[in-house]
Amino acid sequence: MGKSVVHDLYAAGPADAVAVNAFGLGMALRAAAGRPIVWGLHEMMAQEAGRPHGPGLHEMGLSPRDLLLVRTRDVQSLLAVGEEALRSPAVGAVLLSAWGEAKAFSLTASRRLALAAKSSGATLFLARAGALISPSAAETRWSVSCWASEALEGRAPGRPSFSATLLRRRGGGEPRTWTLEWDRDARSFREPAPLSGAVVPLVAQRPAEAWDASGRRVA
């Protein structure tokens, strides 16, 4: 993923909200390159997918000095947090996590974020769950779902694993799907060893169920 741009991350289904947030955190860690991360969390996302858990963040390789968490009640405030964070030269990456549909997620708002990211040199990741895919100025668009992890030695729990489909990239290209696991020590995604570098076959993508700002299913 390129620097100083916006990337859209969609949960493949409402049950994948945790996965899309974790994937976004991993991407933000890589993009930040040691600089702080600002995570804007929509309150409805926290209610539906759970609030950040300290030990879980530690398992992702995050320390308190890496992350500034900002909670917002509505999407407009969430987008404002993103723009404000991108104005700081100290910030390396921004993750905005939102649940449901909202008119505030307009093409104009996306362009504003893209311009702010380009000016600041930081990268912004917009993670959405319970929402239909919509037009935006993002450099890439992904569909993310959880994936079964491989147990470690001694039957220890495996690394966080994801199925990530690149649906769209500016400049073109065919959609592709990867199975990836998060390596906390390397702060990087990698393909699990059993795959031997293989790419997972692309499967048909069903639109995620959409939810409005009050939490009602609309599709």
Answer left, alpha or beta for residue 172, where phi above 0 means left and psi between -120 and 50 means alpha. Answer: left
Tell me the whole-structure pTM to 2 decimals.
Answer: 0.84
Instruction: Output the pLDDT for position 152.
Output: 65
Percent of the chain residues past pLDDT 90, beyond the cut: 64
Mean pLDDT over the full length of the chain: 85
Instruction: Output the pLDDT for position 207.
Output: 38
pLDDT band at 217 (very low <50, low <70, confident <90, very high): very low
Q: How many CB atoms lie within 10 A of CB 84?
A: 15
Is residue 198 predicted with pLDDT exceeding 50? no
For residues 28-50, give the mean pLDDT. Answer: 95
Beta strand 188-190 with 176-183 is antiparallel
Instruction: Output the pLDDT for position 174.
Output: 86
User: Does residue 42 contact residue 128 with C-beta atoms inside 8 Å?
Assistant: no
Is residue 112 predicted with pLDDT exceeding 80? yes
Percent of the chain residues past pLDDT 70, beyond the cut: 82
Cα–Cα distance measured from residue 140 to residue 2, given in angstroms and rounded to the nearest whole number: 9
